[in-house]
Copies of this chain bind each other. A is one copy, B any other.
Amino acid sequence: MTIHSQTAKVQAPATAAHFADSLSSGDFKAAFRNHAAGVSLITADDGSGPVALTATSVISVSAEPPLLVFSVSAQSSSSATITSSDTVVVHLLEAGQLELAQLGATSGIDRFAQAPEWSRLVTGEPVFHAAPVWIRGRIISRMDAGTSTVIAVHALQSNVSEGGNVPTDADSPEPAPLVYHNRTWHRLGSHSRIPA
């Protein structure tokens, strides 16, 4: 078995008692309304053309080997391409890249036709130049999870551009990551920091 093609199926437990226990989707969404997340733009091309998708589900799970995980909803138009690609690029966005975040979150548009400057890596994946940080990685596991797919990625290459991971907020000694919460975009900085 190659790890690359590994697929696991995750379903709700199958007994009636377990189903009766399940939280409703409405209550689940209401609980998560409180949860904030960093914002990433994921790009890929499985040969059928480039796709870009804004995600708030990217997590770092291991540094050695370097592994990250994210999930994509089957409802997204980019989902099929990302899920079937060998490799992806995960752009970690700062507040200055709100335009990119909105691009990958807007339905019904050609996300590359009117897009900010992008090009292809020598390995073929689309990359947006404005993103201060991106990671190229190989998909090593796909796990069906309800209406979504959870994807594990082995990081192969990263780029931290000049201006990335350095102060972009004059009042702050830190970069200004982009955060999403309850349909609102936020910018972190000294103004949001809780004193130690």
Contact = CB atoms under 8 A, between A and B. Distances in A.
Contacts of A40: 35
Contact of A143 (B8, B95, B147): B8
Interface residues of A, number: 91
29 contacts: A6-B10, A8-B143, A10-B152, A22-B156, A23-B158, A25-B63, A27-B66, A27-B158, A28-B60, A28-B63, A30-B165, A31-B134, A31-B160, A32-B92, A34-B133, A34-B164, A34-B175, A36-B177, A36-B179, A57-B59, A69-B145, A69-B150, A141-B143, A150-B152, A174-B182, A174-B184, A184-B193, A185-B194, A186-B188
Interface of A: 3-4, 6, 8-14, 18, 21-25, 27-38, 40, 56-71, 73, 92, 94-95, 98, 132-135, 137-138, 140-141, 143, 145-148, 150, 152, 154-158, 160, 164-165, 174-175, 177-179, 181-182, 184-189, 191-194, 196
